[in-house]
């Protein structure tokens, strides 16, 4: 029995080490303000977004996001009253990337990379200055 338990534990530890890595590409953030001044957005309805490896995160209704600049893939917004992470083999702090009114991926500020969403998600939000 002890040998079987050891095998199961080793198997589970092996699985934990096999978490899939998220897709990342270098992204140069150009900080700045939108025309007319800085803009924040407030999410109006919960939205489920998924990383490139399918791990889901919920952008909660009422969460506030501040514009921090642009990358080639879209506008980058950092969370003000919440935390966003993206998870694969590691867990990383993330900001959301919008193109028009759709969430298209995650900007990882520590790594300076972009990680695409599994698929774009249209968001309902309002803006404030």
pLDDT tens-digit profile of 7-38? 444 444 444 455 689 999 999 999 987 766 66
Residue with tokens 């534990």, as numbered in its chain: 9
Region 95-104: mean pLDDT is 97
Nearest to 105 by CA among 33, 21, 25: 25
Within a 10 A sphere around the Cβ of 100, how many other Cβ atoms? 10
- Cα–Cα distances (Å) from 82 to 12, 30, 58, 79, 85, in that order, read 32, 23, 11, 6, 10
Region 75-104: mean pLDDT is 95
Question: Residues near 16 by Cβ (< 8 Å), separated by ≥ 6?
Answer: none
Note the pLDDT tens digit of each residue in 106-117: 999 999 999 999
Please report the pLDDT score of residue 102 as a whole number. 98
Alpha helices in 1-123 (DSSP H): 2-16
- 55 phi, psi to nearest 5 deg: -75, 125
The pair of structure tokens assigned to 61 is 């209704």
**What is the b/e burial string over 49-65, where b = at least 16 CB atoms within 10 angstroms of the residue's CB?**
bebbbebebebeeebeb
Average pLDDT, the chain: 87
Provide the percentage of residues in the chain whose pLDDT is more than 90: 73
């Amino acid at each position: 029995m002890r040998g079987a338990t050891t095998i199961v534990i080793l198997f589970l530890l092996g699985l934990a080490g096999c978490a899939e890595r998220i897709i990342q590409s270098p992204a140069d953030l150009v900080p700045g303000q939108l025309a007319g001044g800085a803009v924040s957005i407030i999410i109006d309805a919960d939205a489920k977004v998924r990383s490139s490896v399918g791990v889901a995160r919920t952008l909660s209704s009422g969460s506030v996001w501040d514009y921090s600049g642009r990358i080639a893939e879209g506008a980058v917004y950092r969370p003000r009253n919440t935390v966003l992470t993206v998870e694969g083999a590691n867990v990383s702090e993330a900001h959301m990337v919008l193109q028009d009114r759709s969430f298209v991926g995650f900007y990882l500020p520590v790594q300076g990379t972009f990680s695409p969403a599994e698929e774009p998600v249209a968001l309902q939000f309002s803006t404030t200055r």
